[in-house]
Amino acid sequence: MSTPPTPLQGSPVGIDFGGSGIKCAPVDLANGEPGERARVETPKPSTPPAIAETVVALLRRFPEADGPVGVTVPGVVRHGVVRSAANIDRSWIGTDADVLFSEATGRQVHVVNDADAAGLAEVEYGAARGRRGLVIVTTLGTGIGSALVHDGVLIPNSELGHLEIDGHNAEKRAANSARKAEDLSMRSWAHRLQRYYSTLEKLFSPDLFVVGGGISKRADEFLPLLDLETEIVPATLRNEAGIVGAALLASRG
């Protein structure tokens, strides 16, 4: 781990909870920069009590950062309650995660869908900074996560990876996992992405698409193959987006 920067006293903390790992860092909201980051493996099974215990332990590593806490969850979150569970224990469904984490930590905690957090971070600090109108941020990974942000305001739980296109759940054919599983060339995969993004374009008439996920590092290999009216650009915050977005949303209450 690199030498820690100056402690971010009073800063909000972002925690990115995923199926394989949990990352935590205080965030300077003036510039969207995380401080020292801690990461642990996600407990197995990833039940709510096990994750709450892990969150408490992670926060103890940053005693100076005593601001509000934001936690991402890979599932639909409505008013703090988890309504779906992707790659985490199904006992999360119906759990009031805001209450769970707030009681466990003794702090104000706000829980948000992971793609929503990443999308808001890209609009506030990343590839879509300063852009008005409707921005659609998509993450191409195991599935397709999505976030809709209009004039800086998040429209939560869009779940656009589950659109039915040509009789298929979109992410089953267009996610990066499908490219790898079927050993598709970038050109072949781009044909599927073209169909996906053309459908989003027709339905929402966005002002900008931002493409995230690990594969965005290779955006120059597939984004130029797409023919869209809407500008489409790679995300810039990469693995920090969830942490930054969670902290930002927590600060807004």
Residue 33's contacts (CB-CB under 8 Å, 6 or more residues apart) are 27
Per-residue pLDDT at 9: 57
Structure confidence by residue, pLDDT tens digits, 97-116: 999 999 999 999 999 999 99
Residue range 17-35, pLDDT digits in tens: 988 899 999 999 999 999 9
Percentage of the chain modeled with pLDDT above 70: 96
Q: Comparing C-alpha atoms, which of 248, 20, 253, 250 is closest to residue 126?
A: 248
8 — pLDDT class (breaks 50, 70, 90) = low
What is the dihedral sign for C-alpha 61, 64, 66, 72?
negative
Q: Tell me the pLDDT band of 10, cut-offs 50, 70 and 90.
A: confident
Q: Is the pLDDT of residue 4 over 50?
A: no
pLDDT digits (tens, 9 = 90+) for 127-151: 999 999 999 999 999 899 999 999 9
Radius of gyration of the chain measured on its C-alpha atoms: 18
**pLDDT value, residue 166:** 95
Structure tokens at 198: 């053309």
Give the pLDDT confidence of 208-242 residue by residue, as tens digits. Answer: 999 998 899 999 999 999 999 999 999 999 889 99
